[in-house]
Every structure is written in C-alpha cells, then in structure tokens.
Structure 1
C-alpha cells in the first residue's frame, strides 16, 4: 500500500513539439491550458466551456504530470505554453449524477505526435486530479517517421507503410528525440526533478 505522505518518483517520456514552426510562433501569445488539479477545477472549466461536453477538449499533460485543458480547436503547443509534454491529444467528458468523468481520451496531436505509451502520464494526471476515466486510450493513434523519405505519417489500420513513398515503417515509435523526465509527487502535488 502506498504511503500518501511519502514522495513517489515516476519516470515519463517528454515529447517535443514537432509541428510547423509558424503554428508555434502564432501560439506563443496564447495563454496555456487551464490546470485541472481536481474535480471542482474540471467542473469550473466545463461551466466556462460548455461546448466541451459535446465536442471534447484539447489536452496536454505538462512536465509536472498535470492535466491542462483548452477548447477543442486549440493548438496543443498553445495549451502546453510552448513546452514539451508528457502526453497530448483530445479528451471527452460525460455528466452523470451531478458529476463529470472522462469518457474519451486519444493521443491525436499532430503537433507533438506522442506514442501510445503516453497513456501512463495521462492516467497519472487523471488519478492525481481524482477524475474517473477509461482504462486506456479510447483512440490510439500511431505516428511514425519514414526512414526512407523522412516524412512523418499516421499509421492507419495497422498498415505500417509510408503514405508518401510506400516504404515500410518501423513498428517502434521514432518521430523525434524524446527524453525521460523524473517527476516526484508529494502530497498530491508534483514537481519535475529534471530531464535525462
């Protein structure tokens, strides 16, 4: 059994932004996504963004393993404040008995293109905020960089073939250099130790 007063060290992968530089530049002035530390935070955010109950939201998990939300058509890099992320994608919610839970989670972010392994960071951020959620990504997207032509592509229907040059794609995620991040959770709060 975990001791709630004892710090926990977790290791996640940090994904850099790999989307168009023009989008990053445009996003610099936008405020980062709202931090969701608890169910009341989510309730307040959904009250301010009621469309999210229908169309979902853009999310990232920041380098402290905290969930950030922004309206659905927001850029992930803006939601992340231009930083690397532990996860990024789209998230949907349901309302039941005067409370909300997370019903849909994907890793669909063409700006960060995270591996499906980012679920661990998403699960940690949701658990830390006390939000009920599915047991894994409800939509898993596989991104790969083609070793032949260098283009980044989305794998469809488990067909690991480049859409640009028809070369075989690797089975392992290879989009960009990613780094390990140590996060320490203390009393429900987290701090980043550093990147290795």
Structure 2
C-alpha cells in the first residue's frame, strides 16, 4: 500500500526547502551515514521512509518524514534506531504525517534485507492511526479504543487514505 502525506500543509511547504533523506542500499551506506551524523543524534531514533521503489531513506531525528521523502508517497515511514555496528535495534511506524499502518512492515523488512542490515524481524513498537470523521483530529489508537480523544466521537475501524474535510 502507498501512503500519501496527510499532515499539516505548512509542514509540507516547509519541507520543500529541506534536504531529502539519504538512500541506504547497503551496510556501508548506513555506516557512512551514521559516521557523518551529528554526534548528538547518533544514539537517537532517526527518521526513515521507504520509497515506492523500496529504497530506505534516512534523515536526522528532527527532520519531517515528508522532507525525508521529498514530498513523495511512501510504502512505510517511522523512526529507526541503529547501534554503532549498523544493526537496527528499534524500528516503528510512528509517522503522524503519513500514518502508515502496522501492515507496512514487509516493505521495511524488504528494504533492510536488500541492504543486508540486521533487524529485529518486526516493528518494536507499532502504531494505529485514525482521523476522526467528526472533528478531523488525528488519533493514535490505544487499548483498542476507537474513540476520538478530542471530541469523543467514534473512530472508523479501518483507516482512510486521507483525513476527512471539516
């Protein structure tokens, strides 16, 4: 499944002036990227997306997913933490701009496997997102409660491809 950016328009506009993520196609690419990263950010989770062609792109922790993806659709997006040896120790689908479902894991796994980057075999934390059809608020589902945190309205059991219009 392809995910379109559904976050705030002002973030997408600002992201047009940010550098895109760095393609990671091998462990050497990953080690080079980590060596060049700001030392304060090396142990933090990094922003990642998987392009529609299946390539892993990495960006600094404080970068937006839409910037990492250069505004394009993605197969997955979230945060990834890598140890100094180039092994993924944590990986999530936490991206409120793209709201990828946990079912996007195979795209992440395939990109990491192609690059020969060791990984945990599944998301270490997986998130379910829903936009409220009543107030349009973005919700992270917790405890299987499909109730809007803002207006208490019911949330759809299945994701929509874009937030509803107010």
State if a TM-score over 0.5 links the two structures.
yes
- Note if contact 2:4-2:161 (Cα within 8 Å) is conserved in structure 1: no
How big is each residue's C-alpha offset from its partner over 1:38-75, in whole Å with a ceiling of 9 and x where there is no partner?
A: 00000000001144431120000011110000100101
Count residues with an aligned counterpart.
Answer: 162
Is the aligned partner of 1:143 residue 2:138?
A: no
How far the C-alpha of 1:167 sits from its partner, in A, is 2.0
The yes-or-no answer on 1:25 pairing with 2:13 is yes
Of 97, 103, 127 in structure 1, the residue corresponding to residue 89 of structure 2 is 103
Larger Rg computed on CA atoms: 1
> Secondary structure at the residue paired with 2:134?
coil
Q: Is the 8 A contact 2:27 2:115 kept in 1?
A: yes
TM-superposition CA deviations, 1:4-31 (whole Å, max 9, x none): xxxxxxxxx1100111111111111212
Deviation at residue 174 of structure 1 after TM alignment:
2.3
Match of 1:72 among 51, 55, 61: 61
Alignment of 1:168 with 2:157, yes or no, is: no
Structure 2 CA distance for aligned equivalents of residues 45 and 118 of structure 1: 24
Paired with 2:63 and 2:111, the residues of 1 have a C-alpha distance of: 20
Greater fraction strand? 1
Shift, 1:78, TM fit:
0.5
Contact 1:144 1:175 in 2 (8 A): no
Relative contact order (alpha carbons < 8 A, sep ≥ 6): 1 or 2 greater? 1
Deviation at 1:164, TM superposition (A): 1.7
Matched, 1:92 2:78: no
SS of residue matched to 2:154: coil
Q: Among residues 15, 36, 46, which one is paired with 1:48 in the alignment?
A: 36
* CA drift at 1:175: 4.7
Q: What is the CA–CA distance in structure 2 between the aligned matches of 1:135 and 1:173, rounded to whole Å?
A: 24
> C-alpha separation between the residues in 2 aligned to 1:130 and 1:52?
23
Structure 2: distance between partners of 1:106 and 1:133: 12
Whole-Å Cα distance in 2 between the matches of residues 146 and 31 of structure 1?
32
Secondary structure in 1 aligned to 2:108? helix
- State whether structure 2 residue 131 is matched by structure 1 residue 134: no
Which residue does 1:155 correspond to in 2?
Answer: 141
The runs of 5 or more residues in structure 1 that have no matched partner are: 1-12, 178-196
Distance apart, 1:135 and its partner CA: 1.4
Q: How far does residue 86 in structure 1 lie from its aligned partner after superposition?
A: 0.7
